[in-house]
Amino acid sequence: MSDPIPPRQYVPLTCHGHSRPVPHLSFSPLEKEDAYYMISACKDGNPMLRDGQTGDWIGTFLGHKGAVWQARLSPDATTAATASADFTAKIWDTHTGELLYNLKHEHIVRAISYPFDQSGMIATGGYEKKLRIFDLHDHKLHSENSPGSPTPVTPITIETDKAFEIGEGTHKDTIKFIVWAQDPSVIITASGDTLRWFDLPSRSCIREVKLEGEIKSCELVSLARSHSAPTDIGGGFPVLAVAAGKTAYFWSGIRAEDDLKQIKLPHGVASVGLDLKGRKFVVGEDPGTWARVYNWDDAKELDLHKGHHGPIWSITFSPDGNLYATGSEDGTIKMWKNCDGFYGLWRGGVSGNGTD
């Protein structure tokens, strides 16, 4: 009896351009005609914007004077937010590349997040061990300086005393990740080995969960509404995916606090991404340079991705679920096809029969 045919492995796309490690990647929501974008944070201090389907370079946001630890695109994709070792977080115009807001801090900024579905607020955290919310509505740009305007922008500097702190004194370790739940009144932080849920109206911590080791990645995974369904993992709600120790943890619900699953693996986990519709998850080994693909239901290994030459710090799925991207210590980004047939720069028929 012959061995079963292994799953089709499409050749990944490799995105070059960075000169230092890539600690974080994220995609924008779907735009018109199902277009979307990807932004990469890099320790070279130059976050880059790319076409989400092809990985083609669009532009570089220039102005940081230190490593950029995280980068995210706003829900309406008109702005980008970056967190840096230069003691600032910055908000950029994605159309012109110009700096709009300079959010000053007193130490390295490691984490940054927009609310789930609105673009006028920013949460930051880092070495100060303080979770801050900046309301950009209180510091409006002049009409001629609005995103996309051809007029040169005069950036607005916002000091930390203009932000409001949530859960004062709660964090004992550096805040490395911040996630805004679908419920806009709930925000989640990853600090050391602890996840914390905060209630914004009361500014208080409402739940703490200690994990088996230091949290290496923490992201809210969701599909575009046009691609989401009640049969997806999480029942159509976003899923909080967390890597710590040798375990991948998952929570769901509108507040991302409903325990979904914990999956213990035979190796350390540096990062985790989740395919909500395809019912599988992808992890970066820790230590190691490979990405392993597992079945959601029985945790059996489905695939092994080689190609990176350093640890994989970030794994994120596109808003349509048709590809995922990995960011590595080796300074490269790889994009992996997650569907059959033609897509982006991949050519081919159904899985197993096509050509790249």
Q: Tell me what pLDDT residue 336 has.
A: 96
Amino acid identity of residue 329, one-letter, is E
Q: Alpha carbon 152 to chain centroid distance?
A: 30
Is the CB of residue 263 less than 8 Å from the CB of residue 294?
yes
pLDDT band of 273, cuts 50, 70, 90: very high
Is the CB of residue 147 less than 8 Å from the CB of residue 161?
no
Instruction: Tell me the C-alpha distance between 228 and 277, whole Å.
Output: 8
pTM of the model: 0.91
pLDDT band of 148, cuts 50, 70, 90: low
Three-class SS string for the chain? CCCCCCCCCCCCEEECCCCCCCCEEEECCCCHHHCCEEEEECCCCCCEEEECCCCCEEEECCCCCCCEEEEEECCCCCEEEEEECCCEEEEEECCCCCEEEEEECCCCEEEEECCCCCCCEEEEEECCCCEEEEEHHHHCCCHHHCCCCCCCCCCEEECHHHCEEECCCCCCCCEEEEEECCCCCEEEEEECCEEEEEECCCCEEEEEEECCCCEEEEEEECCCCCCCCCCCCCCCCCEEEEEECCEEEEEECCCCCEEEEEEECCCEEEEEEEECCCCEEEEEEECCCCEEEEECCCCCEEEEECCCCCCEEEEEECCCCCEEEEEECCCCEEEEECCCCCECCECCCCCCCCCC
Residue 150 predicted with pLDDT over 90? no
Q: Tell me what pLDDT residue 146 has.
A: 56
In the chain, the domains with their CATH numbers are 13-337 (2.130.10.10)
Q: Across residues 174-186, what is the average pLDDT?
A: 97
Considering the chain, what percentage of its residues have pLDDT values greater than 70? Answer: 92
75-134: pLDDT as tens digits = 999 999 999 999 999 999 999 999 999 999 999 999 999 999 889 999 999 999 999 999
Q: Tell me what pLDDT residue 111 has.
A: 98
Residue 355 predicted with pLDDT over 70? no
Q: Tell me what pLDDT residue 354 has.
A: 33
User: What rounded mean pLDDT belongs to the chain?
Assistant: 91
The residue with greater pLDDT, 75 or 137, is 75
Structure tokens at 99: 């700096």
Q: Across residues 136-155, what is the average pLDDT?
A: 70
Q: Tell me what pLDDT residue 72 has.
A: 98
Q: Tell me what pLDDT residue 137 has.
A: 87
Q: Across residues 142-171, what is the average pLDDT?
A: 81
